[in-house]
Amino acid sequence: MSKMYGPEEKAKLERLINEGSNVLREVEDLQEGLKETVKAVAEELQIAPAPSVTPKVRANFLIVLSRRIAAMSASLKAFLPTNSAAISTLKSAIISFPRAT
């Protein structure tokens, strides 16, 4: 079943798409400007940029971290058997650690 849209609905959709495209373009411009500003300030203050974290390094870090969390979790459960929800929350927070770009 397809719905027919009248001229008003089509105009609203076109306006939404155009405005959305403009906003996305502005966001990209702002992000680029921020990158340039950060770079300029870093050069002025003689701060070297941090090396990028590759996906492989991040994956290895998360593997090691998850193993340590599992070991710690087992130890904590022995001492805090009623607080497993807090342990799960901690694990989730660490696993959802932001990705490097």
Query: pLDDT digits over 65-74, tens only?
Result: 788 877 777 7
- Helix ranges, the chain (H): 7-44, 55-79, 84-95
Q: Which residue in the block uniquely carries the two structure tokens 């070297």?
A: 48
Region 17-36: what's the mean pLDDT?
A: 88
In tens, the pLDDT along 28-65 reads 999 888 888 888 888 888 877 667 778 888 788 888 87
The pLDDT of residue 97 is 58
Amino acid present at 72: M
Helical pair 55-79 and 84-95, crossing angle rounded to 10 deg: 170
